[in-house]
Structure 1
């Protein structure tokens, strides 16, 4: 009786141990808090929301810990490299892809590569006459010194004038130092609101389009985290949940509505910084103006 009871107890204990071990090894039992930094830039809020959408479809139990330090992109990269942060996001560039591990899912569907112009409204008639790319080459475009857009525009044969001070660009376009200040479609109305003293407007008819992925990045020491986020985003896209988030986000909805992208004359530019690993062959990763 005693030996049978002891055997039964040992068997139950062993099964319980095996069950606990199985649960611990199960992806669903995995738990991790991802450290991110969110500044007051609207793209940060969007990216945190996109990460949370990915988490809905990621194996394991993930949560987000958000710090709100007003740090630069350079400092954010340093934090990621030194394991003081787990995930960051930015428009992909050569330096970032060399130092960090990109999650190659363009979470803004390439929207940042759609550039419309801040102009002096007195010049709208000049832009109305633009029909061919050769017409664009007759115009001048302002950008900040050192911005990757400078090389992209110049590489495509456009005339670029630069300044080291971002705020100067608004006064220079108003004063006729150059004809247009190209901005990402998410940006110009917020920027014009911040410069109410200047009689500037958004040009009516044109858009430059080049491939500019906005990716999550993780440490190169965390390929499993990159894969987990990528899988979560792909599952969210396949289910319709990601597009629901993207098109329903106030920042995106406002930009698409106000910019009237579908009815603009589009000029496609090459991006010399683009990695050959950019997933250009996955159509539903990218915004199609014809679908708007």
Structure 2
């Protein structure tokens, strides 16, 4: 009788359904308010839709410097995700998902916010050496800082990047390089308070820089989910379609004409092989039509 009872208990225990896996409660960490229709949010949502785990995404705004926000991601047990440029210390301290968010577009192509007198001087620039007479500004901890300084350029790094346009107007700095897809939004953000601010229409700085999603080291579940989803979204063509259907990005490509500008190549000494491989593997295909997949 006891043996029969034991057998029944064992059968019932095996018959129980496996417990459902907890939902991924993803926190997208940013330093300024971000709407769900923003491209960064849409890319993360697209990635998580293309994997099989239940999830939710919340935007968490912490107005702190980039190093401080990185520390939050690194030290918190929560499922934080942060978007950062490729930088060895970022790649060493956090766990990057090596699929470029913008497929090599935008962040490695820099357009300058400046003032009219500086814009006139920029039209005489023909080489990297010509840029050494200018003073640049970038946010504290940004990947661009080391790249520009390693190239021999003078860079100031205020803790609050929102102060840079005012610094330009007060002649404390001269040039504020912004990503190709950031420039229009940044100009609209700052020009009401600084009406003499201009977008340079002559130069484009170019260097191998990508933007990746990063998570805490050891958070393999979240990392794997984002990686699986981004790769699937890329090869099905959805990731590129998201870029090309974005009204800001498509307008920028029409208005800024990066291919018609004088290009100044900025050498980069400290790019990881993982980043170079990702930029080569997950590239943008200009001829791809909306809805078409990308062949491996």
Same fold by TM-score, threshold 0.5 exceeded? Answer: yes
Q: Secondary structure at the match of 2:47?
A: helix
Whether 1:70 aligns to 2:65 is no
Q: Secondary structure at the match of 1:277?
A: helix
Cα deviation, residue 240, structure 1: 0.9
Q: Secondary structure at the match of 2:102?
A: coil
Cα deviation, residue 187, structure 1: 3.0
Cα deviation, residue 289, structure 1: 8.7
Kindly provide the CA deviation profile for residues 132-189 of structure 1, in whole angstroms up to 9, marking residues without a partner as x. Answer: 3333334332334554423211211223355555454323433444442222223333
Task: Tell me the equivalent position of 1:94.
Answer: 88
Distance 1:89 1:283 in 2: 20
Task: Tell me the equivalent position of 1:256.
Answer: 253
Q: Cα 1:270–1:180, aligned 2, differ >3 Å: closer, same or farther?
A: same
Whether 1:278 aligns to 2:271 is no
Distance 1:153 1:212 in 2: 12
Q: Cα 1:278–1:53, aligned 2, differ >3 Å: closer, same or farther?
A: same
Task: Tell me the equivalent position of 1:7.
Answer: none
Q: Cα 1:42–1:251, aligned 2, differ >3 Å: closer, same or farther?
A: farther
Distance 1:61 1:68 in 2: 21
Cα deviation, residue 208, structure 1: 0.8
Moved more, 82-91 or 42-51: 42-51
Unaligned runs of at least 5 residues, structure 2:
1-7, 289-296
Q: Which structure has the highest helix share of the two?
A: 1
| Root mean square deviation, CA, Å | 3.5
Runs (4+) of structure 1 moved beyond 6 Å? 288-291
Q: Cα 1:48–1:264, aligned 2, differ >3 Å: closer, same or farther?
A: same
Q: Cα 1:34–1:121, aligned 2, differ >3 Å: closer, same or farther?
A: same
Q: Secondary structure at the match of 2:274?
A: coil
Q: Cα 1:33–1:169, aligned 2, differ >3 Å: closer, same or farther?
A: closer
Are the aligned partners of 1:143 and 1:161 in contact in 2 as well (CA < 8 Å)? yes
Distance 2:230 2:82 in 1: 15
Are the aligned partners of 1:142 and 1:160 in contact in 2 as well (CA < 8 Å)? yes
Are the aligned partners of 1:207 and 1:265 in contact in 2 as well (CA < 8 Å)? yes
Kindly provide the CA deviation profile for residues 76-122 of structure 1, in whole angstroms up to 9, marking residues without a partner as x. Answer: 64255321224332223333322221111111223212111112123
Unaligned runs of at least 5 residues, structure 1:
1-9
Largest Rg, 1 or 2? 1
Q: Cα 1:286–1:121, aligned 2, differ >3 Å: closer, same or farther?
A: farther
